[in-house]
Amino acid sequence: MKNRLKYIILLVCPLLLGTCSVSYSFSGASLSPEMKTISIARFPNNALLVAPILSSTLTDALQERFARQTKLIQVPENGDLNFEGEITNYASTPAAISGDEYAVLNNLTITVRVRFTNAVDPSLNFDKTFSAFSTYESSKLLQEVEPTLIPEIVDQLVEDIFNAAVSNWQ
């Protein structure tokens, strides 16, 4: 009787496990197996203050993140996952004031509006604003620190956008 039960369990377990589908990734992305493509439109810079490299830096970084950490094929438009949006703010503001009321530190802040569409699961669609900043010494000109700060801020923005879209941590 015990041997018969063992054989039944050995036959039934693979059938039950074969009907389950689990998706996981070491990148933190949880993508449905039905998702095959992604489209990421260029993010134009619509901020009042414009950094010439910002639009391409952000768009390229988002495309690279998905290429590195997912198996999705990038297509020009109408992907299973679709990103579009614009840079809405690019500003340098005082972060710390000295005793004589002069700024000693400034924040460079970048804000991006992202419209994300998930064709496989529309309940995950969103239209959100993401913002990140980095601090720099006010003794330096913004143009001096932009080449260092923009990639740093863009990395944080891309991390936040990626997590919101595919990690379901909304």
pTM over 0.85: no
DSSP letter for 135, please.
E
Q: Where are the domains of the chain?
A: 34-166
What homologous superfamily does CATH list for 34-166? Lipoprotein like domain (3.30.160.150)
1 pLDDT band (50/70/90 cuts)? Answer: low
Tally of CB atoms within 10 A around 24: 9
How do residues 13-48 score in pLDDT, each as one tens digit?
Answer: 444 444 343 333 444 566 888 899 999 999 999 999
pLDDT at 22: 38
**Region label for 123, one of left (φ > 0), alpha (ψ between -120 and 50) or beta (otherwise):** alpha
How do residues 87-107 score in pLDDT, each as one tens digit?
Answer: 999 999 988 877 677 778 999
| Strand ranges across the sheet with 73-74 | 73-74, 37-40, 81-97, 103-118, 126-137
Angle at which helix 142-166 crosses helix 54-69, to 10 degrees, equals 40
How far apart are the C-alpha atoms of 115 and 126, rounded to whole Å? 6
How far apart are the C-alpha atoms of 95 and 124, rounded to whole Å? 35
pLDDT at 121: 93
pLDDT at 95: 86
pLDDT at 136: 95
Whether residue 153 is predicted with pLDDT greater than 90 in this model: the reply is: yes
